[in-house]
A and B are shown apart, each in its own frame.
Chain A
Amino acid sequence: MAKVSVLNVAVLENPSPFHSPFRFEISFECSEALADDLEWKIIYVGSAESEEFDQILDSVLVGPVPAGRHMFVFQTDAVGVTVVLITCTYHGQEFIRVGYYVNNEYLNPELRENPPMKPDFSQLQRNILASNPRVTRFHINWDNNMDRLEAIETQDPSLGCGLPLNCTPIKGLGLPGCIPGLLPENSMDCI
């Protein structure tokens, strides 16, 4: 079951002037502490048909994430998009995708009727259709196990062999006093 569930994404300062940054206040709940950070991305969907044209506008790591309810504000300066996606990945696996339609229009009704050939950005207002997010959830593997290593390996083969091999446990780190051979010396000192 998913360790992280998104409770809400609030779009702040909406509607707002065209050039102002996007601000999403994201609250989520985590059922058990995560070993690694979550990665949140804002993606511009270039084409509805293909992910090929998706552009990552901004990404941010969020962590550490203990069990509980958390919130943060994801702010980015990306402008001029019509569809925006917020995705979250853990260990490179996407588990939630929230999509919003963005509507850019002139405040002035006259301009709205007869938009100028060259857009006048100062007059444009950006309105995110916050009341109607499209939420898709995916089942992913939340545990730290081999699958994850494999995933990393497929992404970047150079990482796979980067693990140090000299991690044999050091022996005899127990109580040194337990080694009988050490004792007579001590006792001689005492005498």
Chain B
Amino acid sequence: MKLLKPTWVNHNGKPIFSVDIHPDGTKFATGGQGQDSGKVVIWNMSPVLQEDDEKDENIPKMLCQMDNHLACVNCVRWSNSGMYLASGGDDKLIMVWKRATYIGPSTVFGSSGKLANVEQWRCVSILRNHSGDVMDVAWSPHDAWLASCSVDNTVVIWNAVKFPEILATLRGHSGLVKGLTWDPVGKYIASQADDRSLKVWRTLDWQLETSITKPFDECGGTTHVLRLSWSPDGHYLVSAHAMNNSGPTAQIIEREGWKTNMDFVGHRKAVTVVKFNPKIFKKKQKNGSSAKPSCPYCCCAVGSKDRSLSVWLTCLKRPLVVIHELFDKSIMDISWTLNGLGILVCSMDGSVAFLDFSQDELGDPLSEEEKSRIHQSTYGKSLAIMTEAQLSTAVIENPEMLKYQRRQQQQQLDQKSAATREMGSATSVAGVVNGESLEDIRKNLLKKQVETRTADGRRRITPLCIAQLDTGMNATSTPAALSPSVLTTPSKIEPMKAFDSRFTERSKATPGAPALTSMTPTAVERLKEQNLVKELRPRDLLESSSDSDEKVPLAKASSLSKRKLELEVETVEKKKKGRPRKDSRLMPVSLSVQSPAALTAEKEAMCLSAPALALKLPIPSPQRAFTLQVSSDPSMYIEVENEVTVVGGVKLSRLKCNREGKEWETVLTSRILTAAGSWDVHRQVVVVKEESLHSILAGSDMTVSQILLTQHGIPVMNLSDGKAYCFNPSLSTWNLVSDKQDSLAQCADFRSSLPSQDAMLCSGPLAIIQGRTSNSGRQAARLFSVPHVVQQETTLAYLENQVAAALTLQSSHEYRHWLLVYARYLVNEGFEYRLREICKDLLGPVHYSTGSQWESTVVGLRKRELLKELLPVIGQNLRFQRLFTECQEQLDILRDK
């Protein structure tokens, strides 16, 4: 073991409260007190690791410093991806930093050039919620969440995908919360507080799993921080300051039953910080000795107020090493390098120490693969799912494949070099705006500058923007190579707002409305004629009883429904209410009540049609016949015959409906027909479906909230419970296209398969229907609580649904988008069979045969073109190189033909 105290890592003598090494090991951050503010500094790691680099004047030691915190910084933490740095301080704020790549090194203006920032780190989010000092922050595995804890006794979980959204505030501590740690498989988060308790919270519902108090009963006094840690295999949670027989310890808590039987003893004062090595180790195999498989073990560093540091291996009873008097004051934070062999320790005395271990001392670190296998076997899932490393040894068989792979690497290189080029000497030229160099701009700035006078006569200059800020949190994901899929098409959905929930409510609101008795008898007569009162067969009605009972509460307005029933109303809602089956005994009721009801009905039909008329919709010619099926219940379908007649100059459409052997007819005026085109027919079904859903949902109050017609004339209907259906003319079915409560959508996690952030904004009818509610948080929550296999299944199902929905909606752009996402997911997760199926369908028969049912296009897109787009995606995974080759060759053959 080597020990080094790099003196140049300091905050000018001010205390350093936190240290964290960047995941790529090239830099580390410190946080603490600044001159009259909090201070975060990012340092170069190589001068710590290598003496030559330390001596080399050209190698910068300090990369960036940020004085933006108004008060002392208590914690700095890199995200697992290394993209972000989160810092929390006494100013109650958490700042999230991201490296700005477009600007080169710059000095802080007026600081006489000494404090040059080699890297530019920009605050992209400020998270304000805590009412007291923020003591610790922690990124969850996979960076889905950021947790922070504070002296306000709370822990806040932030949605790291969508700052500053708060997912949960964990209340329960009655003292200052001073430390946080995530379970490595993401199922729990633990917090330790001054209230002499350690609490474990579930990430599934953010509720308390357990509160451990016994080992802390004797804890008096206060430590500045209580940084606890979870072992990388997930088995143990080790607390900071605990007491055993009035001696300070670090309590080991077993995941299994939260047992507290063991502790790390030996420090003379309270333990401030515990940090597990990210690696799991196994015994170094000595040459010649029999390869006896030994149990993997973990390594843990413990820092204390007694200024000493101890390093433990879970396979040893004694500490591996104890270093006394390492600092002049309490140890505040510890960070391991990702390879598990180095450790940085910081202290209140303002200095930092680096310890370097050899593999002989710690053991052989397990690879990430082996680690994830341990997770998989212990918890049935792992966070590292598909690692590139596994495939690095595969032989590339196909030159085309090689080309793709190379091109991909080249692009990555290009991006990198572009980034470095941009970063390059900012002293000469910092950037180019609209093809003009900054120098040119500067020359003409005064001339070009827009100067105006304000109302009160003052000069006002409009500044010239020379660079945009990349403040977006997610804009960084490198766009997937070779698939520049910007899928934005102007959507042409025309929402028929007029048909909102009022639609049904109104019909409820007018039970038995006798108001229109002043209607002239002739009108009534006419109506009678037109209406062709349907023939209801009591037999059928009695038979179809099953679901009607449940609907009784809905039809409370019985008097109305009676009357409506006989008429088999014009309006849709009426139909719903007046569904004949349930009131079968009322069937014989004479027509005496009929006319006023008819009037109301007619009136309502008009009411409904009135707003609809205001909208311009494509008007397909009224269709002659339909068979409509309600998708939620395959047994329910309706046959509709549509007859258009002209009565007294008004077009009337008579719909003959047949459902489960029951028939009824209804008449719609032409106004509705012309206004609504095709959907007036469908609307019948809408209503029926609604009814069926009612029966399913047992009386929950549901209404149609919106009806849309896409540019392809596909009617879409939203229900108030968040479900949306669209009509599939080719299959004559109503298909569920969106469900806000769909557990599939919530479980599905395909973020990694999205081509880029931009493409996520793929717009179209489907996107409009489904809304853009980001449920990433929920997704993530499921991610950690659902076994990976289930997750895969649901994601696949969800993506398949999306493809199908886009197909149903005939939204070609969205179809392409979702198909690509689906394919990418299959590629990422390695589902060869399904991928092959897709390719087969897209490719079609290579040799023409008359018997082939294969269509060469789908929603206006050429299938083989789609396949060509898919190839690069397939090419990303070496595992599929055979498939890639096959498709490639067959496409070539086809092209040659």
Interface residues of A (CB under 8 A from B): 1-2, 5-9, 23, 25, 27-29, 31-32, 37, 59-75, 98, 132-135, 139, 175, 177-178, 180, 183-184, 186-191
Residue contact A1 to B122, C-beta cutoff 8 Å:
no
| Bound-complex Cα distance A1 to B38 (A) | 11
Chain A hits for B466, CB < 8 A: 27, 68-71
Tell me the B463-489 residues at the A interface (CB within 8 Å): 463-469, 471
B607 A184 Cβ-Cβ under 8 A = yes
Bound Cα distance A99, B23 (Å) = 42
Do most interface residues of chain B lie in helix, strand or loop, or is the interface mixed?
Answer: mixed
Complex CA distance for A72 and B509, rounded to whole angstroms = 64
Closest to A38 in B: B463
Which B residue sits closest to A2, measured CB to CB?
B68
Digit string of B249-260 for contact with A (CB within 8 Å is 1, else 0)?
Answer: 000000000000
Indicate if the CB atoms of A70 and B606 lie closer than 8 Å.
no
B449 lies within 8 A of chain A by Cβ: yes
Judged by a CB distance under 8 angstroms, whether B123 is at the interface is yes
Q: Give the interface segment out of B105-113, B202-210, B367-375, B406-414.
A: B105-113
A64 and B465 contacting across the interface, CB-CB below 8 Å: no
Q: Which residues of chain B are near A134, meaning CB under 8 Å?
A: 110
B109, A183: Cβ atoms closer than 8 Å: no
A187 pairs with B498, CB closer than 8 A: no
- A selection of 14 A-B contacts at a CB cut-off of 8 Å is A9-B109, A25-B445, A31-B122, A60-B458, A60-B460, A63-B460, A64-B462, A68-B467, A69-B467, A133-B109, A183-B607, A184-B603, A186-B611, A187-B607
**In the complex with contacts A72-B449, A186-B607, A178-B458 CB distance below 8 A:** no
Contact partner of B110 (CB less than 8 A), chosen from A62, A63, A135, is A135
A7 to B442, CA, bound (A): 15
Question: Is the pair A178, B610 in contact by a Cβ cutoff of 8 Å?
Answer: no
Contact: B471 with A73, CB < 8 Å? no
Counting contact residues on chain B (CB < 8 A from A), the size range is 35 or more
A134-B110, A178-B502 as given contacts; A31 in contact with B469, CB under 8 Å: yes
Nearest first, the 7 closest Cβ-Cβ pairs linking A and B are: A135-B110, A70-B463, A69-B467, A1-B68, A187-B606, A61-B460, A190-B606
* Known contacts A71-B464, A191-B603, A61 near B454 by CB under 8 Å: yes
A124 CB → nearest B CB, Å: 24
Q: List the B residue with the shortest CB-CB distance to A1.
A: B68
A1-B70, A61-B459 given; A71·B610 CB < 8 A: no
Complex-state Cα separation, A25 to B449, whole angstroms: 11
Q: Check B603–A67 contact: CB distance below 8 A.
A: no
Interface string of B718-736 (1 = CB under 8 A from A): 0000000000000000000
Judge whether A68 and B607 touch: CB under 8 Å: no
> In the bound complex, how far is the Cα of B122 from the Cα of A7, in angstroms?
14
Tell which of B111, B449, B461, B603 has the most Cβ of chain A within 10 Å: B461
CB of A135, distance to nearest CB on chain B (Å): 3
Cα distance A31–B123 in the bound complex, in angstroms:
8
Q: CA of A73 to CA of B448 in the docked complex: distance in angstroms? A: 10
Chain B residue with minimal CB distance to A134?
B110
Q: Are B610 and A133 in contact (CB under 8 A)?
A: no
For the A-B complex, the count of residue pairs with Cβ-Cβ distances under 8 Å equals 121
Query: Are A75 and B106 neighbours in the complex by a CB distance under 8 Å?
Result: no
Interface check B819, CB cutoff 8 A: no
Report A-chain residues with C-beta under 8 Å of the C-beta of B459: 59-61
- Evaluate contact between B607 and A66: CB separation under 8 angstroms: no
B497: interface (CB < 8 Å): yes
CB distance from A178 to the nearest CB of B (A): 7
Q: Which residue of B lies closest to A23 (CB)?
A: B446
Question: Are A135 and B109 in touch, CB under 8 angstroms?
Answer: yes
Is there an interface contact between A73 and B606, defined as CB atoms closer than 8 Å? no
- A59 near B446 (CB under 8 angstroms)? no
Contact pick for A66, options B109, B454, B465, B603, CB 8 Å: B465
- Cα–Cα distance between A33 and B371 once the two chains are bound (Å): 46
Docked complex Cα distance between A139 and B498 (Å): 52
Complex: chain A residue closest to B506, CB-CB: A180
Chain A residues within an 8 Å CB radius of B788: none
Give complex CA distance A29, B449 in Å. 17
What distance in Å separates the Cβ of A159 from its nearest Cβ neighbour in chain B?
13
Residues of A with C-beta under 8 A to B502:
177-178, 180
Question: B441: nearest residue on chain A (CB-CB)?
Answer: A71
Residues from chain A with a CB closer than 8 A to the CB of B737 are none
Is the CB–CB distance between A62 and B463 below 8 Å?
yes
B602 interface residue (CB < 8 Å to A): yes
A residues less than 8 Å from B467 (CB atoms): 68-69
Interface check B99, CB cutoff 8 A: no
Query: Closest CB-CB distance, B869 to chain A, in whole Å?
Result: 35
Contact with A along B576-617 (1 / 0, CB 8 A): 000000000000000000000000001110110111000000
> Smallest Cβ distance from A125 to chain B, in angstroms?
21
Whether B126 is near chain A, meaning CB under 8 Å from some CB there, is yes
Distance of A65 Cα from B610 Cα, bound (Å):
48
Closest Cβ of chain B to A147, distance in Å, is 15
Q: Least Cβ distance of A191 to chain B in Å?
A: 6
C-alpha spacing A83/B327, complex, angstroms: 48
Chain A residues whose C-beta falls within 8 Å of the C-beta of B110 in the assembled complex: 98, 133-135
Cβ of B671 < 8 Å from any Cβ of A?
A: yes
Q: Are B462 and A63 in contact (CB under 8 A)?
A: yes
Output the nearest chain A residue to B459 by Cβ-Cβ distance: A60
Name the contact of B123 in the complex, choosing from A1, A64, A66, A135 (C-beta under 8 A).
Answer: A1
* Cβ contacts under 8 Å, B48 to chain A: none
A25 touches B442 (CB 8 A): yes
Contacts of A64 in B (CB 8 A): 462
Task: Determine the chain B residues whose CB is within 8 A of the CB of A175 once the complex forms.
Answer: 497
Q: How near does chain A come to B648, taking the closest CB pair, in angstroms?
A: 12
Convert B95-110 into 0s and 1s, putting 1 for each residue whose CB lies closer than 8 angstroms to a CB of A. Answer: 1000000010010011
Please give, as numbers and ranges, the residues of chain B lying within 8 Å of A188 by CB-CB distance.
Answer: 606
Please indicate the chain B residues that have their CB under 8 angstroms from the CB of A27 in the complex: 466
Nearest to A27 among chain B residues (CB) is: B466
**Do the beta carbons of A68 and B468 come within 8 Å of each other?**
yes
Residue of B with least CB distance to A178: B502
Complex contacts, B603 vs chain A, CB 8 Å: 184, 187, 191
Cα–Cα distance between A66 and B464 once the two chains are bound (Å): 10
**Chain A residues, CB < 8 A from B446:** 23, 73, 75
CB nearest neighbor in A for B505: A180
Q: Which residues of B contact A9 (CB under 8 A)?
A: 109
CB contacts (< 8 Å) of B442 on chain A: these are: 25, 71
Contact A72/B95 with A177-B498, A183-B607 known, Cβ cut-off 8 Å: no
Closest to A72 in B: B463
Give bound CA distance, A187 to B506, whole Å: 13
Q: Do residues B460 and A70 form an inter-chain contact, with CB atoms below 8 A?
A: no
Given contacts A63-B460, A69-B465, A70-B466, contact A1 B126 (CB under 8 A): yes
Nearest B residue to A191 by beta-carbon distance?
A: B606
Q: Shortest beta-carbon distance, A137 to chain B, in Å?
A: 9
A71 touches B445 (CB 8 A): yes
What mask results when residues 121 to 141 of chain B are scored 1 for a CB within 8 Å of chain A, else 0?
011001000000000000000
- Shortest Cβ distance from B91 into chain A, in angstroms? 9
CB neighbours (8 Å) of B126 from chain A are: 1
Most buried by A among B500, B509, B610: B610
Are B463 and A67 in contact, CB atoms less than 8 angstroms apart? no
In the complex, which residues of chain B have a beta carbon less than 8 angstroms from the beta carbon of A132? 112
| Nearest residue, chain B, Cβ from A135 | B110
A61 touches B109 (CB 8 A): no
A190 touches B610 (CB 8 A): yes
Q: Which chain B positions have C-beta within 8 A of A69?
A: 103, 465-467, 469
In the complex, what residues of A have CB within 8 A of residue B465's CB?
A: 66, 68-70
Complex CA gap A175/B495 in Å reads 14
Write out the residue numbers on chain A whose beta carbons fall within 8 Å of the beta carbon of B509: 180
Closest A residue by C-beta to B613? A190
CB distance from B499 to the nearest CB of A (A): 10
Known contacts A134-B110, A187-B610; A62 and B70 CB within 8 A of each other: no
Give the distance in Å from the alpha carbon of A37 to the alpha carbon of B69 in the complex: 25
What's the nearest-Cβ distance from chain B to residue A158, in Å? 15
Chain A residues with CB under 8 Å of B95's CB are 1
Report chain B residues within 8 Å CB of A183: 506, 607, 610
Nearest CB on A from B704, distance (A): 15
